[in-house]
């Protein structure tokens, strides 16, 4: 039995320990905001926070989750009022929107670590999150807005 917390709720998992965290979130507890895309941990669409750090849920096995705390896009702020979520809306970041939950979770982790990031900080933190629509300039603008840094 694997015990973990997801969005502040204590949970238990008694399935295949090799199952990716992504499938637990989406299929077992119906948190579908975290998206599946590449399945190899290289695109960032499935980014969640595990113990406060960004992690790729598609390649994180459940066996590694014992005692851990997971934060998904649904838990970041249920009303969409996290500064990054607000900035995303203000800057009209999403185009198709598919990668955006992963982008937002990565950006939120960056701002928690570096509240006033430089362009280099943003580039370094966000480089593993791919956007098929190419909204990278709006993503950068939104991160700066959320950080209160001049764009």
Same-domain status, 141 and 92: yes
Q: Can you give the CATH number for the domain in which 34 is found?
A: 3.10.20.30
Same-domain status, 103 and 42: no
Residue 91 in domain: yes
Q: What is the mean pLDDT of each run of 10 residues along the chain (151 residues)?
A: 98 97 98 95 97 98 98 94 96 92 97 96 95 94 94 66
Residue 68 in domain: yes
| Residue 121, pLDDT score | 97
Q: Can you give the CATH number for the domain in which 120 is found?
A: 1.10.150.120
Same-domain status, 61 and 89: no
| Residue 151, pLDDT score | 66
Domain of residue 61, residue span: 2-72
Specify the number of domains making up the chain. Answer: 2
Same-domain status, 12 and 64: yes
Q: Which two structure tokens, joined as six digits, stand for 69?
A: 């705390």
Burial (0-12, 13-18, 19+ Cβ within 10 Å), 127: exposed
DSSP string for residues in 31-76: -TTSPPSSSSSSS-TTEEEETTEEEEGGG-BGGG-TT-EEE-HHHH
Same-domain status, 45 and 19: yes
| Residue 125, pLDDT score | 96
Same-domain status, 68 and 107: no
């Amino acid at each position: 039995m694997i015990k973990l917390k997801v969005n502040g709720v204590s949970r238990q998992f008694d399935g295949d320990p090799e199952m990716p965290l992504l499938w637990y979130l989406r299929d077992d507890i119906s948190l579908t905001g975290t998206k599946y895309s590449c399945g190899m941990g290289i695109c960032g669409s499935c980014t969640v926070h595990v113990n406060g750090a960004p992690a790729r849920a598609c390649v994180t096995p459940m066996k590694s989750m014992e005692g851990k705390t997971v934060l998904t896009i649904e838990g970041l702020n249920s009303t969409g009022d996290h500064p990054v979520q607000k900035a995303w809306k203000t800057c009209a970041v999403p185009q198709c929107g598919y990668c955006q939950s992963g982008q937002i979770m990565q950006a939120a982790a960056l701002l928690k670590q570096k509240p006033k990031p430089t362009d280099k900080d943003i580039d370094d933190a966000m480089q593993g999150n791919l956007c098929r629509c190419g909204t990278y300039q709006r993503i950068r603008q939104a991160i700066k807005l959320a950080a209160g840094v001049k764009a």
